[in-house]
Amino acid sequence: MNKQVSYQLNKIIKKTSDKNLNNHILVAISGGQDSLYMIKLIEDLIRQYTKQKNNQINISYIYVDHQWRKDSYKQTIHVINYIRCIERAIYIYQLPKNILSENLSRVYRYHIITKHAIKYKNKLIVTGHNQTDKIETFLYNFFRGSGTQGTTSLTLQTKINNHMYLLRPLLNLRRDIIYWTCKRFNLPIWSDTSNYIYDFHRNRTRYELIPYIKKYFNSNIEGNLNSLLKNYYKDNEYIKQNTIKLYLISKHPKYIAINHHKLRKQNLTLQFKVIQLFCIHNLNFSLRYNKILEILIHINKKLKYINIKIKLQSMTLHIDKKWMYVTL
Asked whether residue 93 carries a pLDDT value surpassing 60, the answer given is yes
What integer pLDDT is reported at residue 181 of this predicted model? 87
Where residue 60 falls among pLDDT bands split at 50, 70, 90? very high
Where residue 324 falls among pLDDT bands split at 50, 70, 90? confident
Residue 272 CA from chain centroid, whole number? 22
Q: Is 250 annotated as a binding residue?
A: no
Asked whether residue 274 carries a pLDDT value surpassing 90, the answer given is yes
Asked whether residue 137 carries a pLDDT value surpassing 70, the answer given is yes
Mean pLDDT of 220-233: 91
- Please answer whether residues 231 and 238 qualify as being in contact, where contact means their C-beta atoms are separated by less than 8 angstroms: no
Asked whether residue 157 carries a pLDDT value surpassing 80, the answer given is yes
Where residue 126 falls among pLDDT bands split at 50, 70, 90? very high
Asked whether residue 6 carries a pLDDT value surpassing 90, the answer given is no
Give the separation between CA 177 and CA 4, rounded to whole angstroms.
13
Q: Is 34 annotated as a binding residue?
A: yes
Asked whether residue 23 carries a pLDDT value surpassing 70, the answer given is no
Q: pLDDT per residue over 74-87, tens digit each?
A: 889 999 999 999 88
Q: Domain limits of the chain?
A: 3-217, 242-327
What integer pLDDT is reported at residue 1 of this predicted model? 60
Asked whether the whole model's pTM tops 0.85, one would answer no
Least confident of 86-90, 116-120, 169-173, 306-310: 306-310
Q: Is 52 annotated as a binding residue?
A: no
Mean pLDDT of 102-118: 90
What integer pLDDT is reported at residue 48 of this predicted model? 76
| Domain covering 242-327, topology | Chorismate Mutase Domain, subunit A (1.20.59)
**Amino acid letter at 158?**
T
Q: For the chain, how many residues are written?
A: 328
What integer pLDDT is reported at residue 116 of this predicted model? 95
Q: Is 4 annotated as a binding residue?
A: no
Give the separation between CA 326 and CA 328, rounded to whole angstroms.
7
Q: Is 153 annotated as a binding residue?
A: no
Where residue 239 falls among pLDDT bands split at 50, 70, 90? very high
* Residue of 119, 137, 142 lying closest to 127 (CA atoms): 137
Q: Is 33 annotated as a binding residue?
A: yes
What integer pLDDT is reported at residue 80 of this predicted model? 92
Mean pLDDT of 225-232: 91
User: Euclidean distance between the first and final Cα of the chain, in Å?
Assistant: 57
Mean pLDDT of 61-78: 87
Q: Which CATH architecture has domain 3-217?
A: 3-Layer(aba) Sandwich (3.40)
